[in-house]
Amino acid sequence: MLVVIANDIPPAVRGRMKLWFAEPRANIFVSGVKDSVAKKVVEYLHNHCPSESGLMVFKSSNLPPGYEIYGLGDTRKEIIELSGMQLVIEKYTEPEQPFKNHE
């Protein structure tokens, strides 16, 4: 299985993705393509999408933990590796100080 999440992709790439993938939401693509085809799709995306596309790709794998994650550009989320396992986390931002009422 291959899941592609993008901030924004070029119209020509999006049109091509729609040929083989279901698009349940805008710029989210899901397909059960074979591993060899999935590799070609990932290569195609990396070659035809600018970094502004913010791609995050989840590809099923036969090795633990059962998936691989690829990123390109600003994905709005961070991909980290912890003990050999890839994880997606929210990017940390400093919390705003609550408004204090001075009386």
pLDDT digits (tens, 9 = 90+) for 75-84: 767 776 777 7
Answer yes or no: is 103 within a domain. no
Residue 40 — φ and ψ, nearest 5°? -65, -35
- Residue 88 CB-density burial (10 A; 0-12 exposed, 13-18 middle, 19+ buried): middle
Instruction: Tell me the average pLDDT across 90-96.
Output: 68
Domain count, the chain: 1
**pLDDT, tens only, 23-73:** 999 999 999 988 888 889 989 998 999 988 889 899 888 888 888 888 888
Does the pLDDT of residue 99 top 70, yes or no?
Answer: no
**pTM as predicted:** 0.74
Reading phi first (left if > 0) and then psi (alpha if -120 to 50, else beta), residue 57 is in beta
Give the domain range for residue 14: 2-90
Q: What is the CATH number of the domain that holds 53?
A: 3.30.70.240
